[in-house]
Amino acid sequence: MPLLKHHVIHAAQRKVDSMIADHKDRISDLRSATVRDEIQETASQSERTREADIELLDRFSEQAERLEHERDVLARFVVKGHMDTVQPGAVVLTDQRNFLIGPSIEEFQSDGQDYLGLSVQAPLYKALDGHRKGDQVAFQGVTYVIVDVR
């Protein structure tokens, strides 16, 4: 049982690492473009472009920092030990989709199965919180049957 959880957590870490690398590449590209634009454009064009680029750089930097924090959270997850209820750190298998409760992570795969990192701030998590294997949880018109919690 811990093996599945171990694989899911490591797949989530790989996904977050990939997202961080993508953000850092984008930041590097934007920095290069900003320098190039400053050299090639007139003063008024450069100012408008620079402001837009700086705003975009700030957003990407904030997202990269958030992702690094999420990677740190994943690194602290305990793989060993069985969880009986939906809670932070749990891998939750339902008939609708599978979740890793913790950081919000876009869909990723582990051992051929799709998972979604579900934040504890998400309304769906609040509906699932504390439920056990076999429970049914209705959320926004969809009924989730909890197949397993690990």
| Predicted local distance difference test score (pLDDT) of residue 76 | 86
Whole-angstrom distance, CA of residue 97 vs CA of residue 81: 23
- Strand-pair partners of 99: 92, 116
Task: Supply the pLDDT for residue 50.
Answer: 73
The pLDDT, as a whole number, for residue 107 is 97
pTM given for the model: 0.80
Does residue 67 contact residue 20 with C-beta atoms inside 8 Å?
Answer: yes
Rounded distance between C-alpha atoms, residue 33 and residue 29, angstroms: 6
Give 10-residue mean pLDDT values along the chain (150 residues).
84 96 93 68 60 87 94 83 90 98 96 97 98 99 98
Distance CA 13, CA 8 (A): 9
Residue 52 φ then ψ, to 5°: -65, -40
What integer pLDDT is reported at residue 80 of this predicted model? 65
Specify which residues 52 forms β-bridges with.
none
| pLDDT in the model for residue 1 | 47
| Encoded amino acid at 74, one letter | L
